[in-house]
Chains A and B, each alone.
Chain A
Amino acid sequence: MGEPTSTLALDDSWQVAGRRFSSRLIIGTGKYKDYAQNAAAAEAAGAEIVTVALRRINLSDPTQPRLTDFIDPKRYTFLPNTAGCFTAEDALRTLRLAREAGGWSLVKLEVLSDQKTLYPDMIETLAATQVLVKEGFDVMVYCSDDPVFARRLEDAGACAIMPLGAPIGSGLGIQNPVNIRLIVEAARVPVLVDAGVGTASDAAVAMELGCDGVLMNTAIAEAKNPVRMARAMKYAVQAGRDAYLAGRMGKKRYADPSSPLAGLI
């Protein structure tokens, strides 16, 4: 007998920059039909952190619904992100404004290279990380799946490393599991796969590789039924995490019967 299931760690929480969370699934708040659907998806995902963007206030239509009317910043940790920034300077401006707007120092940095791939520009990303850390931000960093750059980011003071599984919004799944695993093994801060997840099994794969969490937006928002997919992702992340902790069986090249061979008639 192994551990009785009742003692299997229900408290499998994780920490980033001194903040503790029990959900390992972070979801975005873009691309949904409306904020109501977004709120329902966040609920179904069991998310505790949601990424948010900073944009010019809309003067022409002040009656437009506000994100905070649907997703309560007291219940969810808002993670301001620099989506759409293509230079370190733009990302810095955005996050300084975000800190002023919301008072939060935990932020997600991403500096993109080009519209076609939205691949992270790692030179700009590293430069921005260094400045933000100096200014007292806790910086979770979207990055390429290069283990060397991941280490450089950690050395620069990043509080979480968030390599892409595949290009943003592509839904291609984890393209380079070897690199993700190398990053996980070397990191002393949380590692989350950010971008590229398409369906539940992709999220499970990320967790089975030992990641501390997964961040996704499009996989849920563009599903035919986003709320149901949000729930699927919750279970996939939990299942993948449990499988990682349980330790998978070894792979064999040939069959190995499950029933005893002794006593065959």
Chain B
Amino acid sequence: MKIFFNGEEMHVEDGVTLTDLVAGLIVDTRGVAIERNLAIVMKSKWDQTILADGDRLECVQFVGGGF
């Protein structure tokens, strides 16, 4: 199935959780937050979150920035 991760199209297997997806993409998940279809998924819920076709994920972290 197809999902969008930070705007990029990706193909993932059925039944994949957010934890599985993140493990393959991000080495260090400290300070990372994820929004799924505009709703925040708390880190503690990543492993219970099974991705669905068409999911739009935004994955962010802190970077340098002024104003």
Residues on A close to B: CB < 8 A? 28-32, 35, 38, 51-57, 59, 62, 66-68, 73, 78, 80-81, 83, 93, 96-98, 100-102, 108, 110, 142, 168, 194-195, 215, 217-218, 221
Question: Which residue of the partner chain, among B6, B30, B58, contacts A68 with CB atoms under 8 Å?
Answer: B30
Q: How far is the CA of A73 from the CA of B31 in the complex (A)?
A: 10
Interface pair A29/B60, CB less than 8 Å apart: no
Interface pair B63/A55, CB less than 8 Å apart: yes
Q: Does B12 sit within 8 A of A, measured CB to CB?
A: no
Residues on B close to A: CB < 8 A? 5-8, 25-28, 30-35, 38, 40, 42-43, 58-67
Interface pair B30/A81, CB less than 8 Å apart: no
With a CB–CB cut-off of 8 A, which chain A residues contact B35?
93, 97
Interface pair A54/B25, CB less than 8 Å apart: no
Q: How far is the CA of A101 from the CA of B64 in the complex (A)?
A: 15
Q: Which of B33, B60, B61, B66 has the most CB of A within 10 A?
A: B66
Q: Which of B5, B7, B35, B65 has the most CB of A within 10 A?
A: B65
With a CB–CB cut-off of 8 A, which chain A residues contact B33?
54, 97-98, 100-101
Nearest A residue (CB) for B10: A59
Q: How far is the CA of A66 from the CA of B29 in the complex (A)?
A: 12
With a CB–CB cut-off of 8 A, which chain B residues contact A51?
65-67
Known interface pairs A51-B65, A56-B58; 16 further A-B residue pairs with C-beta atoms within 8 A, sorted by A's residue number: A35-B64, A52-B64, A52-B65, A54-B62, A54-B65, A55-B63, A55-B65, A56-B60, A59-B25, A59-B26, A67-B62, A68-B30, A68-B31, A96-B40, A97-B60, A102-B62
Q: Least Cβ distance of B12 to chain A in Å? A: 14
Which 8 interchain pairs have the tightest Cβ spacing?
Answer: A53-B65, A28-B66, A217-B66, A30-B66, A101-B33, A29-B64, A100-B33, A56-B6
Interface pair A57/B62, CB less than 8 Å apart: no
Q: How far is the CA of A147 from the CA of B10 in the complex (A)?
A: 50
Q: Least Cβ distance of A240 to chain B in Å? A: 20
Question: Which residue of the partner chain, among A53, A54, A57, A221, contacts B6 with CB atoms under 8 Å?
Answer: A57
Interface pair B40/A100, CB less than 8 Å apart: yes
Question: Which residue of the partner chain, among A66, A96, A97, A142, contacts B67 with CB atoms under 8 Å?
Answer: A142
Interface pair A168/B6, CB less than 8 Å apart: no
Q: Least Cβ distance of A66 to chain B in Å? A: 8
Interface pair B63/A221, CB less than 8 Å apart: no
Known contacts A68-B30, A97-B40, A98-B33: A29-B67 contact under CB 8 Å? no
Q: How far is the CA of A24 from the CA of B33 in the complex (A)?
A: 30
With a CB–CB cut-off of 8 A, which chain A residues contact B62?
52-54, 67-68, 78, 80, 98, 101-102
With a CB–CB cut-off of 8 A, which chain B residues contact A54?
33, 60-63, 65
Question: Which residue of the partner chain, among B8, B38, B42, B67, contacts A110 with CB atoms under 8 Å?
Answer: B67
Interface pair A218/B60, CB less than 8 Å apart: no
